């Protein structure tokens, strides 16, 4: 399947496209949205946004209010779906496992392994698709995300530093090996060997020095219902001190886990990436 433009809209002087393509990693069609700023031909610097549990390529696009900021900064933004979907793709009745909850890892366990290869999808198939189909600069690429997608942004940037020059996150699942969401997903996708889980835990990777000297911006709402049990930003801060990461952790008093929180600070994150790309 070649790139198929499903919808296209003009927004803030740029072009927003919804795209479907075939993924070798997942063995399914996958969807993403891509915003290209202005009328310039490019190639443009760009950032990949990874969304959280239950989301698709549309949540960020319609709720984050990012494209006015991106247009001013000259930054393109790509937002993929959060998992493979469709007939024959494994799923679970719970919101935090299966379709809509890929956790940006490559599953090794049944019934997930045939399709749930979201790390390879984001770092290979998606990059190839967007850079072949749109005027984007592979030398100026960043990544950011929210919640499960914040976990994905941090871990993929740390595991593939050659691919992503910049990284930031909103309310990331900082240490999935130490929270219910992460432990449930990792047990299902990666199996019982927790040594394999550690390679997908941002806190553990940062403590090992995998982000040494690297700048990371994290915003966290102080009124987030998931703060203590699932997100644990204090562990991220401690790991940054241990591993020599240049972490800017901003606790935003009164803000929750929603896109109202994201839309309040998305301009700062767009500017963060644009200045460094």
Q: Check: CB of residue 76 under 8 Å from CB of residue 37.
A: yes
Q: To the nearest 10°, report the CA torsion of 177, 183, 187, 190.
A: -40
253 classed as catalytic: no
175 classed as catalytic: no
Q: Check: CB of residue 213 under 8 Å from CB of residue 192.
A: no
Choice among 96, 106, 125, 224 that is catalytic: 224
**Total count of residues recorded for the chain:** 277
81 classed as catalytic: no
Choice among 147, 175, 200, 201 that is catalytic: 147
Kindly list the catalytic residues: 147, 224, 257
């Amino acid at each position: 399947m070649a790139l198929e433009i499903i919808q296209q809209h003009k927004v803030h002087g740029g072009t927003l496209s919804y795209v479907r393509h075939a993924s070798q990693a997942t063995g399914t069609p996958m969807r993403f949205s891509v915003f290209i700023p202005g009328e310039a031909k490019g190639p443009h610097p760009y950032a990949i946004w990874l969304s959280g549990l239950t989301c698709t390529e549309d949540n960020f696009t319609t709720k984050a209010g990012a494209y006015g900021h991106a247009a001013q900064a000259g930054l393109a933004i790509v937002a993929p779906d959060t998992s493979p979907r469709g007939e024959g793709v494994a799923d679970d009745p719970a919101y935090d496992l299966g379709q809509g909850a890929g956790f940006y890892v490559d599953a090794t366990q049944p019934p997930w392994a045939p399709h749930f290869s979201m790390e390879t999808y984001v770092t290979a198939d998606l990059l190839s698709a967007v850079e072949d189909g749109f005027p984007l600069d592979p030398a100026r690429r960043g990544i950011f995300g929210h919640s499960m997608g914040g976990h994905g942004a941090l871990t993929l940037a740390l595991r593939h530093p050659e691919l992503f020059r910049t990284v930031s996150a909103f309310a990331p699942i900082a240490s999935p090996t130490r929270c219910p969401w992460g432990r449930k997903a990792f047990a299902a996708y990666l199996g019982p060997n927790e040594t394999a889980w550690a390679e997908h835990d941002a806190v553990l990777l940062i403590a090992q020095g995998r982000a040494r000297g690297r700048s990371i911006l994290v915003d966290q709402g102080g009124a987030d219902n998931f703060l203590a049990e699932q997100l644990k930003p204090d562990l991220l801060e401690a790991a940054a001190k241990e591993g020599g990461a240049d972490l800017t952790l901003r606790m935003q008093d009164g803000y929750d886990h929603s896109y109202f929180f994201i839309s309040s600070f998305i301009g700062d994150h767009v500017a963060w990436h644009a200045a460094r790309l």
